[in-house]
Chain A
Amino acid sequence: MSETILSNARLVLRDQVLDGHLALRDGHIAAIGTGSAQGEDLNGDYLIPGLVELHTDNIEKNLRPRPGITWPSALAAILAHDTACAGAGITTVYDSISVGEYSDAPGRREFLQLSVDGIREGVAAGLFRADHRLHLRCELPDPGVLRLLEPYWDEPLFGLVSLMDHTPGQRQWRDMEKYRTYLTPRLLPGETFDQRVADRIETGQKLVPIHRREILARWRAKGPDLPVASHDDTTLEHVAEAAADGIAIAEFPTTLEAAKALNAAHIGVVMGAPNVVRGESHSGNVSALDLADEGLVDALSSDYAPFSLLHAAFVLNERAGIALPDAIATVTAAPAAMARLRDRGQIAEGLRADLVHVHLHEGVPVVRAVWRQGNRVA
């Protein structure tokens, strides 16, 4: 069978960085060796596992490239998103699609079916560079969330579910002044801020527990080992609730207190890569670098900027003093383990040959080449 050798590389293994070479055969990593070998010369650059992305909103940006403009071909928009992922070194991507809404701005609802259909079509036709899965982010207070989810329970690409609650007064919207700024321009004619808030809180109290229970039950019926993520955990109560529900992934906890409790409860903490690269949260939450200093960051996600993922891993290495193999693991091995993907996430013999050739330029990583299952895709 055809074999490819990548040589003169700094291989970032799970526990060390090794100057050596690597052989790919039949889409898998066949052998790892020290020293050089006859093959493609990587000029002493890094070779790391392909990145695993658990939560990207980037499809929405491509479906709506400007306010008010919905792109006419969902497939074309998703292909553009796919190239952005692959170009950023991401070889496995959970496209997070909103099920239900927390604002009255129309749009996200219509994106659900468009996105899923586009992803199905691209996967079926083998058009994507990266391996795409669905992450359905369920807005629990939305009265329609179960109805919206109904068509997708048996979808084979549906690999991750997350539970969100954007009811005002808690989590992302615990600061009511921020919520006021956000909501005021969106109020309906004649409606007051206080009315809307009271209405939202009432709906949330009624619907969130019911929807949470139902979605968890349906998901667990699909498979006992399937991953579930909580979102924007803020208080100890949120963490206790997640632990009681057997949730193993916590996306973007907003406080140090929550992150510590999640860590103690062995729930994997996923922080936003933009937060790491920028050194702060864009919405005033806890800084991911501060959490990393305390050893509380398990994995990263690119959130709204695909190219931030790889950059953030190198920032963790440089600014938080995390050893490179551990820093790279936050964007590879850790998210792969959280998603229960056992065939990827590390450079090890027998795993999928999902690999990224990275040149480091003044601390900024440059993706030189990307392989998915041994095929060069970017």
Chain B
Amino acid sequence: MTVLANARIVLPDEVVLGALRLDGGEIAAIEPGRLQGDADFGDDYLLPGLIDLHTDAIERHYQPRPGVQWDAAAAAMAHDAQAATSGITTVFDALPFGTSYRKVERALVLAPLLDGLAKAESAGVLRARHFLHARCEVTDPDTVGLLEPWLHDPRLRFMSLMDHAPGQRQSPDIAVYRERHMAAMNLSDAEMDEHIAAIRHRSEVLAPEIRARLVKLAHAHGIPLSSHDDETVAHVEQAAAEGMVLSEFPTTRAAAEAAHRLGLLNLMGGPNVVRGGSNYGNVSALELATDGLLDALASDYVPASLLHAVFILGGPNGPATLPQAVGWATSAPAKAANLADRGAIRPGLRADLIRVRVSDGVPSVRETYVGGRRVA
């Protein structure tokens, strides 16, 4: 039995000053008031460990500089350490199954990263619990073949379907797409024309069948599905008809409203909240939160942004209460991914917990517990 005392405990609908008893890796009891414990939290916050449905961060550890390739298992450990120290206790590593050919080299990271994560996992050297989020590019004819061998892997617990063809979703304006990717893709004008024509063609001709097969596979294996970068009401209607549970990074308010009408959760990125807007001029997460259209958060490309976003949205100037904002990074993603054993501070749930201090509005993680054990 471990007792974490004198903490401001963030419960699903209130914040209580008290102590938490942990037993056998689970939360045993919540006791209001001040008492002596194994650890004195000195009025710091105690939150459920964060659940991150979408992080790309492992790729940056695998390729820390352009052209520099790291050992995949070592990269997995470094990424894991960063997640745990950022307060994330359940990580869905969003790995690219298929690519839009926007970044062809991205196709090469999948196999080594899957292998590196598996090695680190089986050696018991990871601090957080890692699952896989298969981000499936529907314009790539290889996607289904890449995914199939992994469908029985117990780590695969989440899937999203993406279509990165310009002219829609993330890149409604082809001219903007062109300008944004020209230098990075190192293409001439003519090559860029060819690339755009090819990917748009694949999106029109191949994607519907690839998409249908992926949806069928996900349902057959009980894997929750998400759509990605929904722009129009039609995008969301299609997602709902396909039995998806969540809309990742909707790009317009109209799409977010449609998601709510149709019973899908809206997930937005932590960076969008912290930066006060989208990189690409899409709808702002803060605006969605203010209007009751936000349901969940993910760290996207900055692990520390998840907790920071929670304290911006649930802070004194934010549109939500702290328990509500914490829920967006804990109970909501747990629900979307069918994880019934975590996501809140409640007796019987896993003791995945974080100690947080807030200074000048910026939260810092002081301690991280996974299954009752201090890991950071």
Are A and B a genuine interacting pair, yes or no? Answer: yes
Within 8 A of B (CB), among A360-376: 361-362, 364, 366-367, 369, 376
Most chain B C-beta atoms within 10 Å of own C-beta, residue among A79, A129, A306, A311: A79
Interface positions, chain B 274-326, Cβ under 8 Å from A, are 274-276, 279, 301-304, 308
Cβ–Cβ contact B279 & A73, under 8 A: no
Q: How far is the CA of A367 from the CA of B127 in the complex (A)?
A: 10
Bound form: Cα–Cα A145–B274 in Å: 32
Query: Dominant SS at the B interface?
Result: mixed
**Pair A86/B302 contact, Cβ less than 8 Å:** no
Shortest beta-carbon distance from A40 to chain B in Å:
11
Quick one: given A71-B275, A76-B362, A366-B125, are A88 and B81 in contact (CB under 8 Å)?
yes
Residues in B neighbouring A306, C-beta threshold 8 A: 78
Bound complex: CA of A163 vs CA of B276, how far in Å? 38
Question: What is the minimal beta-carbon distance from A58 to any residue of chain B, in angstroms?
Answer: 10
Of A209-217, A274-282, A323-331, A337-345, the one contacting chain B is A274-282
Number of interface residues of B (CB under 8 A): 38
- Min C-beta distance of A125 to chain B, whole Å: 5
Interface residues as binary, A141-178 with B (CB distance below 8 Å gives 1, 0 otherwise)? 00000000000000000000000000000000000000
Given the complex of chains A and B, what is the CA–CA distance between A282 and B271 in angstroms? 30
Mark each residue of chain A from 55 to 69: 1 if its CB lies under 8 Å from any CB of chain B, else 0.
000000010011001
**Looking across the interface, which residue of chain B has its beta carbon closest to that of A85?**
B85
Contacts A72-B275, A87-B84, A307-B78 given; indicate if A79 touches B67 (C-beta within 8 A). Answer: no
Among A80, A88, A121, A277, find the residue whose CB has the most chain B CB atoms closer than 10 A: A80
Q: Tally the A-B contacts, defined by beta carbons under 8 Å.
A: 103
> Does A183 touch B at the CB level, under 8 Å?
no
With most chain B CB atoms within 10 A of its CB, the pick from A83, A127, A304 is: A83
Nearest A-chain residue to B64, judged by Cβ = A305
Shortest CB-to-CB span from A276 to chain B, Å, is 12
Does B110 sit within 8 A of A, measured CB to CB?
Answer: no
Nearest B residue to A77 via CB reads: B304
- Which one of B68-76, B189-197, B237-245, B251-259 is at the interface? B68-76
Is A256 engaged at the interface, CB distance under 8 Å to the other chain? no
B61 within 8 A of A: yes
Q: Does A42 contact B (CB under 8 A)?
A: no
Known A65-B302, A86-B85, A307-B81; 4 more pairs at CB < 8 Å = A75-B362, A84-B82, A185-B183, A364-B77
Q: Using CB atoms and an 8 Å cutoff, list the residues of chain B in contact with chain A.
A: 61, 64-65, 67-68, 70-71, 73-74, 77-78, 81-82, 84-86, 123, 125, 183, 271, 274-276, 279, 301-304, 308, 357, 359-360, 362, 364-365, 367, 374, 376
